[in-house]
Structure 1
Amino acid sequence: MPHITLDSDEPGIRGLFRFRPETARPLNELVEVLLRDDSTLTRGERELIAAYVSALNECKYCYSAHAAYAAAQLPEGMDLVERVRDDLGAAPVSDKLRALLGIAGHVQQSGRRVTEDDVAAARATGATDREIHDAVLIAAAFCMYNRYVDGLATFAPDDPASYASRAERIAADGYLALLADSQ
């Protein structure tokens, strides 16, 4: 039961967006830039970073949603998402992505946990300054989104299909199109 009375029975952040639509647009614009704009990291890889941080934060709604969105955009699908969540060290990802996910995990704990050694290790795998920047910003943003969703005790469906049904729309048209549909 949410801590406040929402104008909608939509789950997670979607209900919060209906409650304060004036905040929905900038929050969606940020996620659109971070997860969908042109980048040397694929959309699936960036969604994976969002899902990984959300899993570390134990945010059921955000993890489930972004795990589904990542799975829809990664050739290895949900199996890879779950393997990263369960054991990043053993997950079958590139060294570069593992280093960026490691940095994101440190950001989830505290921005100050990211060390020069972490950044040097990421660079040694071929990560660019932009990729390192974006991994940090995705992690920081998802800490905020996770705390927004859980801090107001929003509803998170148990059925994975409720998240997967939106994944194809996100992959095809993005967050702003989905927001426009709901308003």
Structure 2
Amino acid sequence: MAYIDLGVDETADPGIRGLLRYRPETGRPLMELAEVLLRGPSTLSRGERELIASYVSGLNDCGYCTNSHGAFAAAQLDEGRPLVEQVRADPSSAPISDKLKALLRIAAATRNSGHDVTPDLIAQAREAGATDAEVHDVVLIAAAFSMFNRYVDALGTLAPEDPAPYEAAAPRIVENGYLA
């Protein structure tokens, strides 16, 4: 049960969903940000961006966001759930591009502290083929999801352990996005 009365059935609106309904005036801009970051125009695929969100959320120990965005990534990546699990366990040995590995290192540094993103990390990403726009977007995804993770966990929202609700939501998010 959330630490505050959200005025919703948490089993129907777990995690961030209940928080968004509690304060729609802040919830709508947050979802607009998620929509742009994860589904807007980018040279990174939607699946890759969801994977970054899930990875950062895992590093932040946010079960709700790790599992939901992991399910959304799996639904959009050819390699599906096994790839999501490999990346979360050890991105350096996962079967992903060197560019994505370098971007995940930037994401991990960002979630720890903006000061941990070094010129060397940026150079490694560029050497692996990352563009400035991709570096920018990864930093913003990592920063935003660190905020989302803290929002969800600091208010003690429900995070189902069963993967079924997250997997059930994936087709809706893939088809309609975060603003539907």
Question: Which bracket does the TM-score occupy, shorter chain normalised?
Answer: over 0.9
Tell me the equivalent position of 1:111.
Answer: 114
Deviations 1:59-116 (A, max 9, x none): 0000010000000000000100110000111111000000001100001111100000
CA distance in 1, matches of 2:154, 2:75: 28
Task: State whether structure 2 residue 79 is matched by structure 1 residue 76.
Answer: yes
Taking the aligned partners of 2:161 and 2:88, their CA distance within structure 1 comes to 18
Matches within 5 A, 1:59-74: 59-74=62-77
1:2, CA displacement in angstroms? 1.1
Unpaired runs of 5+ residues, structure 1, are: 178-183
Return the letter of the residue paired with 1:3.
Y
CA distances 1:157-181 after superposition (whole Å, capped 9, x unpaired)? 111010011101111111001xxxx
Q: CA deviation at 1:6?
A: 1.1
Which residues in structure 2 correspond to 1:1-183 (within 5 Å)?
1-8=1-8, 9=10, 10-177=13-180
Q: Distance in 2 between matches of 1:26 and 1:171?
A: 19
For 1:97 and 1:105, the matched residues in 2 are separated by 12
Q: Secondary structure at the match of 2:55?
A: helix
Letter of the structure 2 residue corresponding to residue 26 of structure 1:
P
Identity %: 63
Q: Which runs of 4+ in 1 moved over 2 A?
A: none
**Offset, 1:38:** 1.1
CA RMSD of aligned residues (A): 0.6
- Flag structure 2 segments of 5+ consecutive residues without an equivalent: none
Structure 1 residues 139-165: Cα deviation after superposition (integer angstroms, max 9, x where no partner)? 000000000000000000111010011
TM-score by length of 2: 0.97
Which stretch of the first structure deviates more once superposed, 8-17 or 130-139? Answer: 8-17
Structure 1 CA distance, aligned partners of 2:171 and 2:114? 32
* Secondary structure of 1:176's aligned partner: coil
